[in-house]
A and B are shown apart, each in its own frame.
Chain A
Amino acid sequence: MNDKNKIIAGLIIFFVVLLFPFWFNLIFGAADAATAPEPELTDKAKQAETCVAETDYMRTEHMQILDQWRDMVTRDGKRIYKAENGKEYEASLSNTCMDCHSNKEKFCDSCHNYTSVDPYCWDCHTYPEETE
């Protein structure tokens, strides 16, 4: 085969492109790698002490809970969520979640931006305007 050089060159280019995120971060990103944000709690949220589930669980699974809520409310019309801690909550993003966590920017957005997810909740659901 006479194309040995071409093949090797092609492979090198392929891997350089493939590994772009790694070498890019190594060279340019390392200096100011973002630290994981700590979502800020409002006073009301601090006072409540507990959310509809434990904090760790909420942190990883809140989207599943919201998913479940939305199906129950929009499809079955069941609006009261009896949580594992025995308390009852109205299953509503705007009226329950955002009642305590009224600081969308510092609570929701800080993590969502960090992990680069863009949930479309706010296309339809409202959140309290930040007053500070």
Chain B
Amino acid sequence: MENSRRRFLKTAGFSILGVGAGSMLIGLAPGPSEAAGPAAETKPVFVDRPDAKHARRWGMVIDTRGLDARTCRKMEEACHSIHNVPDHIGKFGNKNHEIKWIWDTEFKHAFPGQEAEFLSDRLENAPVPVLCNHCDNPPCVRACPTRATFKREKDGIVLMDFHRCIGCRFCMAACPFGARSFNFRDPRPAIEDENPEFPTRMKGVVEKCNFCAERLAVGKMPACVEASGGALTFGDLNDPDSDIRKLLADEYAIRRKPNLGTFPSVFYIV
């Protein structure tokens, strides 16, 4: 705090001095208001990129009817390679250390307690992609003792601050969807091709899907949505005119474990 104040004063002083000296050189004496203007503006500020995508509450609809195992694999690969998700199973054959952000499972595992008994063959065997639900009322955020995981107020994405996570794994116990993974060891040896644009993680921190916050910030859609061939719809749940809301109005969509009151932002059309 004190630091930034000092810096601001210093900057303001320097700028006024600079503007004053410069104007004397070219013989133009500016009014005091003009001098104060640029000085106030040069205080460092952070802004969004102009091409960033915005929403009040990002959400996703997964249409399982349009998905097959190959598309699911493509989505997973897109996500995991972009985000430097290590492959501990492939590299070391260790299932305990597995890390995954998005993966597909069977209907009965995605929706335990909602299993329909006489499911059609298609649904019985259809791959159901699961990922972090970016709940509107996230229990993981409630549990975190350092606010290393938090719900971003501006768009509802539940994020991880890997710099702050102490690795207590309380969030993993709190998540009713098994969406979180822990770095039981240094992930780097298990990453095939590192994407230099995205950081890897370090041992001892928890990670999970981030709804591609880093891509939304530069105006791109989430990687899995792009790889899904149209089966995944992504948009603003708060905007009644958005594609995602229109889809939800037309189709009957369910969510995982709605009875727990976490209000997932990921919907499924089955």
Candidate in A75, A77, A82 with the most chain B CB atoms within 10 angstroms:
A77
Q: Assuming A78-B48, A79-B217, A94-B197, is B152 touching A124 (CB within 8 A)?
A: no
Residue B159 CB within 8 A of the other chain: yes
Residue A125 CB within 8 A of the other chain: yes
Residue B27 CB within 8 A of the other chain: no
Contact B163 A74 (CB under 8 A): yes
Tell me the nearest residue of chain A to B199, going by C-beta.
Answer: A124
Contact B159 A82 (CB under 8 A): no
Q: Assuming A70-B163, A79-B217, A124-B162, is B46 touching A95 (CB within 8 A)?
A: no
Residue B44 CB within 8 A of the other chain: yes
A130 to B42, CA, bound (A): 35
Give min CB distance, B73 to chain A, whole Å.
Answer: 26
Contact A82 B47 (CB under 8 A): yes
Q: What is the size, in residues, of chain B's interface with A at 8 Å between Cβ atoms? A: 32
Contact B196 A94 (CB under 8 A): yes
Which secondary structure dominates chain A's binding surface? mixed
Q: Which residues of A contact B161 (CB under 8 A)?
A: 74-75
Residue B3 CB within 8 A of the other chain: yes
Q: Which residues of A contact B154 (CB under 8 A)?
A: 76-77
A100 to B88, CA, bound (A): 34
Interface residues in B40-85 by Cβ distance below 8 A to A read: 41-49, 52
Q: Which residues of A contact B11 (CB under 8 A)?
A: 84
Tell me the nearest residue of chain A to B201, going by C-beta.
Answer: A124
Interface residues in A80-109 by Cβ distance below 8 A to B read: 80-86, 90-91, 94-95
